[in-house]
Amino acid sequence: MPRTPLEPRFTIEHLSILDSDGNLDTALEPDLPADELKRLYRAMLLGRRLDERMVRLQRQGRIGTFAPIKGQEASQLGSVSTLRPTDWMVPSFRETAAMIWRGWPIDKLLLFFAGFLEGGQPAPAQHDLGITIPVATQLPHAVGLAYAAQYRGEDAVVMAFFGDGATSEGDFHEAANFAGVWHVPVVFVCQNNQWAISVPLKKQTHSRTIAQKALAYGFPGIQVDGNDVLAVHAASREAVERARAGGGPTLIECVTYRLGVHTTADDPTKYRTDEEVAEWARKDPLTRFTEYLRKKNLLEDGLEAQVDAEIAEAIRRFEATPPPDPLAIFAHAYAELPPDVAAQRRELAERLQAPPPRRADEEHPPAPPMRGQRMTRR
């Protein structure tokens, strides 16, 4: 029997509108109002300046370990800016700029990275999930949200963020299969920053692109220049509109680069070269967008000072926040506390109400100095 081809050879497109040399394809340029362009630029600048400030806060011991976003601002903001407030955003652990765009206060995010669970709780009416640290586990949740919206007949789209390393996890493939089978309104945004911590992309997959993985699950995939905010916005707007109209999911691969560390506990000099970083730094998304707006005469004077003042005020609020109630750790694990956990809660409550124990030097004060002897303070 002769072999019968079942699928024609597939094609994956790469979209770039504003390249790293400032060349603009005016035929593909999205029609964005000046106010929207300025808002996008301010958000990118805020994301970059906050990221740099947070690194210093972490080195000073004022917050804990976090994942910097430097170099990935266009991938996040070009995509999330296409959502409505009634849509859902599902982040991983490196979406600081996208979360601020969605209304998360900076001081609240700082609380999260300082170890307070309150910092990871969305506002009651906010259509976002919290930060997800385990890689790719948020993706089935995102598809579940999209399935629920579809089932209820709601006009909502779900956008889920993840990195290239997440595509090596089973959760990604299960979520993509679920999304394709049920044709749900979800947009998968993969920030392909070339490294899954210290593992390069070439050791993660033999596929030419990550975008082509969508085709196996029956929905479109596209690769975009992830350092080009215009290209990311155009591809994301098309995917969101298609999902909202009932056209099902899309996978967008944003080809970008993590200019900083994986997290503040990482040392990237152990696995990548300075030359590689310098090459990608020349493609910096913020520099590229700055020049684009300069040519349009849309840059605002004093914007950096405004952004720095906003960050400083957020840090002041964060550090002035009173410590939360330790008993809150028992509030969300069980609908009804099991007897042993209830006993632990009572014990902790009693300890919190008890007076602090006296220090050893209070129980045994030093003998008064002998006549002619000086008292020294240590």
254 and 177 in a common domain: yes
Hey, what are 39's tokens?
A: 């808002």
Q: What is the pLDDT of residue 324?
A: 83
147 and 217 in a common domain: yes
What's the structural domain count of the chain?
Answer: 2
Task: Give φ, ψ of 186 to 5 degrees.
Answer: -125, 140
Q: What is the pLDDT of residue 150?
A: 98
How far lies 89's CA from each of 130, 171, 187, 213, 288, in Å? 9, 18, 10, 22, 26
State the CATH number of the domain containing residue 105. Answer: 3.40.50.970
Hey, what are 347's tokens?
A: 């014990």
229 and 189 in a common domain: yes
357 and 248 in a common domain: no
The H-or-E segment that residue 244 falls in is helix 229-244
CA–CA separation, 236 vs 78, rounded Å? 7
Q: What is the pLDDT of residue 376?
A: 47
Q: What is the pLDDT of residue 62?
A: 97
Q: Structural domain of residue 355, as residue ranges?
A: 327-363
59 belongs to the catalytic site: no
Q: Which residues of the chain have pLDDT under 70?
A: 360-378
Q: By C-alpha distance, which of 67, 66, 91 is closest to 77? A: 91
258 belongs to the catalytic site: yes
349 and 315 in a common domain: no
Which member of 48, 53, 94, 262 is catalytic?
262
Which member of 59, 151, 271, 346 is catalytic?
271
Give the helix, strand, coil percentages of the chain, each rounded to 5. Answer: 45, 10, 45
Which member of 94, 258, 288, 292 is catalytic?
258
Asked whether residue 141 is assigned to any structural domain, the reply reads yes
Q: What is the pLDDT of residues 87-143, one digit of tens each?
A: 999 999 999 999 999 999 999 999 999 998 889 999 999 999 999 999 999 999 999
335 and 306 in a common domain: no
Q: What is the pLDDT of residue 378?
A: 42
303 and 193 in a common domain: yes
261 and 340 in a common domain: no
158 and 109 in a common domain: yes
Secondary structure (3-state) at 338: coil
170 and 35 in a common domain: yes
257 and 335 in a common domain: no
Hey, what are 168's tokens?
A: 């090596």
